[in-house]
Structure 1
Amino acid sequence: MKKVLFFMPDNPLKKNAGNRTRALSMLDYFKSRNFEIDFVSEYYTGQWNASDIQAFEQSGLADKTYVIKKKPSKKNILFYLLFYKLPNFFYQNKAWFFPLNFPELVTLRFKRAFKKILESKDYDYIFINYASWATLVEDNPLAKKPVKIIDTHDFITAQLQRKVNIGSSFKEEIRRISLFDIALAISVEEQYIFSQFCKNKVALAPMMLDKPENRHSTEEKPFDLIYVASDNIHNQKSATWFFNKVYPLLPGNIHICIIGQINKHLSVKAPNIIAVNFAEDLSTYYQKAKVALCPMLTGTGTKIKVVEALSYGLPVVCNTRGIDGLIDKTNNGCLVSDDPVQFKNNILRLLTDDATYQQEAKNAAAAFNLNYEKEQCFKNLDTVFGIV
């Protein structure tokens, strides 16, 4: 039985963000291939508590669970300063004369704890999520033998471009990704960029989702539009654009269901808007909707909400940024425009022209089946990892 040490700073069971859903699918993959999985996370980053840890241990996703604190308690302030704060300052700022302009989230304390876990077992694979945690395997002799895999999730330099020196940030991001034997890119754009500069193997591993059981439900659909969005700066900007520029152009009888923490930032209140701050299971809502919205003006990487909508055979109306990361850019079930009037027209076309709707729904389902259906993606990962 192959053994994998799997690090993810967040709790994958809190399925309220695409990155957690992705980590969950990766754990499912290793479990389906009969791997022995030891899972490692960071207490504060993942906002873990005792019940969260117990729930994860009982989920069967991993054989052993480690949730480690990257810093000690401040109850003994002298100990905290002398044995954590001061050593960690020099560790995380060892290049402070020549700033990396790239996030370093690994503390000296956490790296030592991670090393102790590596000492406990002969692992075949080390799987790390995010380049900002890549230094967990750096300068560690115990990490030489296992196959080291990094799931990049996103192109971090692109996210930080307005805050840092792009050149030094990109150089450091490539250096960190190159510490691994295999780098997984979630989008074709990121696979292309990383493969141009990294010496290691860069493989495409798109978002992987189960095919819904009742994709073609014939029940009445009370929602004309569904909009799923978490609370981040990109969604805030995009939602503001949609409700200021597009929504006023739509007929008042179009019913919109908005799901997620983005609701906290929306001031629009109307009888045709249904707000759901959190949904444990999105499938019920997707099956009751006709068209999915993805207004997206900024941000990088694949938009998970788009892939989710495609999995239900829902046509998507989005901006250009909405199709970032998609393997197929055309005939994929998405109608794309950055112009508010055309965006509105795309919505109305799908809601009033049945022939167009049926064709785009067919395209959406086909794009999902070919590129993002979980079992198909698992077979592709077998090739990447050399599993027969």
Structure 2
Amino acid sequence: MNNNFNFSPKMKILWIKMRLPFPLTAGTDHVSYNLIKSVAEKHDVTLISHSRSEGSEAIEGLNRFGVKTILVDFPALNGLLMKTFNRLKREFLLFFCLIPREVTDNTSKSIEKVIKRKLKEEEFDLVQIEYWFAGKYRKYIKKSLSSLIVHDAFFITAEQNVKFQKGLKSKIVGFIEYLSIKRYELKIIKSFDHVLFISKHDAEIFKKYIPGLNSAKILPLGFNYPVWDENEKEIENNTLIFVGSMMAYFNVDAMLYFCNDVLPSIEKEVPEVKLYIVGENPQNEIKSLASRGNIIVTGSVTDVKDFIKMSEVYVAPLRIGTGIKTKIIEAMACAKAIVTTSVGVQGLEFENGENIIVADDPADFANNVIELLRNPLKRKKLSENARKLFYQHYHLTSVKSKIQDVYSSLISE
């Protein structure tokens, strides 16, 4: 670690995030936005990110908190030839160079030029990079302290994914992906002065693979979800909901598993049960579930909370994944009765049966959902306790000072 710095209490921070965290659509957007907002209250923050269609709205939203935002256009892959070349390139780099697809997909000469120029023009006390796949830009940080925010142990997620792949070819490809991600992720983390983990559970995983990872710190999560009055929207009887991007394979796996192995048992006891699958870009295997009649696949929606609020039970039957699942925290804030798995609660503060129900066995999962649908008093108690848990541990006002303390500690070491 480089200690040759004379810091003032107020730092100049260059924050690098490949996806612009505004507007707040995905759970990770909420995480990044509230982190940046909290840090910007105490320090001067400049954000470099790829632009989205709502770029001007993002700048306005972040500027309110004093964040200087530099948006960089991501090169569009126009034309069949260019798209084919890019696809072949990412496969070649994966199979012959063990470079993960996520790294190739997030490689941008345009953002690289902006980072290099900004570091040359200004002196920053700290350069904060989010996500392991953007860690390649660490090599341009020469005079500043470097910090990496780790949202999950992605190589473990990739390893879990191999287990659920069908067919030898898919398993081989999945295993190569796992090896490439593990190699790259561990190497990148070792190169930073500070590593900030969203989840204590994930920090412990990395410490097993990187002995002496003394730079690790836990970064609290804070959300600013509004209070919801149950009278605002009528709740539909016997309605379940799952929320998650259908571009993510762990969400796809969760829904296929639930609909094939869990839902039939629920339907036998509660024939009128209905399931909403809410998330962007559902593929054909998810869309086809709607043919059952009692499964509604919405695709992208304006506000997922409208659907969460009208459901009786929030299900999150995740079998793959690491990191804290922001979907669970959002359900807590909406005062929902939640049934999930041990994967779904990794890194969370909770008490099984008191504020969240955890069930890994399909029959156990189904029985818990059935009981909640039939027992409104138990459902109400579980949902009220979930909201209390949210305000105690995850509301931004409860953790903002802790986030700021973490960053203050970086300059004092």
CA–CA separation in structure 1 for the residues paired with 2:35 and 2:56? 20
Point out where structure 1 has 5 or more consecutive residues left out of the alignment. Answer: none
- Secondary structure of 2:49's aligned partner: strand
Deviation at 1:11, TM superposition (A): 2.3
Q: 1:157 aligns with which of 136, 143, 155?
A: 155
* Correspondence for 1:128: 129
C-alpha deviation, 1:343, in angstroms: 1.6
Within a 5 Å distance, the mapping from 1:129-144 to structure 2 comes to: 129-138=130-139, 140-141=141-142, 144=143
Deviations 1:120-142 (A, max 9, x none): 2222331111112113122532x
Q: Which amino acid aligns with 1:208?
A: G
Match of 1:187?
199
Amino acid at match of 2:197: A
Deviation at 1:103, TM superposition (A): 5.5
Query: Deviation of residue 154 (structure 1)?
Result: 1.7
Query: Could you tell me which residue of structure 1 aligns to residue 187 of structure 2?
Result: 175
State the TM-score, normalizing by the size of structure 1. 0.80
Residue of structure 2 equivalent to 1:148: 146
Task: Give the C-alpha shift of residue 205 in structure 1.
Answer: 2.4
The number of residue pairs the alignment matches comes to 365
What secondary structure, in the 3-state scheme, does the structure 1 residue paired with 2:19 have? coil
Counterpart check, 1:297 vs 2:313 = no
2:364 to 336, 342, 345: 342
What is residue 401 of structure 2 aligned with on the other side? 379
Name the counterpart of 1:259: 278
Matched residue, 1:37: 45
Measure, in 1, the Cα distance between the counterparts of 2:77 and 2:370: 56
Does the 8 Å contact 1:236/1:262 carry over to 2?
Answer: no
SS at match of 1:8: strand
* Kept in 2: contact 1:228–1:305 (CA 8 A): yes
CA RMSD of aligned residues (A): 3.5
Q: Deviations over 1:186-214 (max 9, x none)?
A: 22211212345253432222442124312
Unaligned runs of 5+ in 2: 1-9, 160-173
Letter in 2 for 1:278: S
Equivalent pair of 2:350/2:356 in contact (CA under 8 Å): no
Scaled by the length of structure 2, the TM-score of the pair is 0.76
Q: Paired residue for 1:28, among 23, 29, 37?
A: 37
* Residue 6 (str. 1) matches residue 15 (str. 2): yes
Q: Which residue of the other structure, out of 248, 252, 259, is the alignment partner of 1:243? A: 259
Take 1:168 and 1:230, find their aligned partners in 2: how far apart are those partners?
A: 24
Q: Does structure 2 retain, via aligned residues, the 8 Å contact 1:333–1:361? A: yes
Q: Which amino acid in structure 2 is aligned with residue 68 of structure 1? A: V
For the 8 Å contact 1:297–1:321, the answer to whether it is kept is yes
User: Partners in 1 of 2:158 and 2:295 — Cα distance?
Assistant: 34
- 1:235–1:262 contact (8 Å) kept in structure 2: no
Q: Does 1:284 align with 2:306?
A: yes
Higher relative contact order structure (alpha carbons within 8 Å, sequence separation ≥ 6): 2
Distance of 2:404 and 2:354 partners within structure 1: 26
Sort the Cα spacing of 1:101 and 1:262 in 2 relative to 1 into closer, same or farther, 3 A.
closer
Determine the C-alpha separation between the residues in 2 that align with 1:304 and 1:213.
Answer: 17
Q: Give the fraction of aligned pairs with identical amino acids, expressed as a percent.
A: 20
1:55 matched to which residue of 2?
Answer: 57
CA contact (8 A) 2:329 2:390 kept: yes
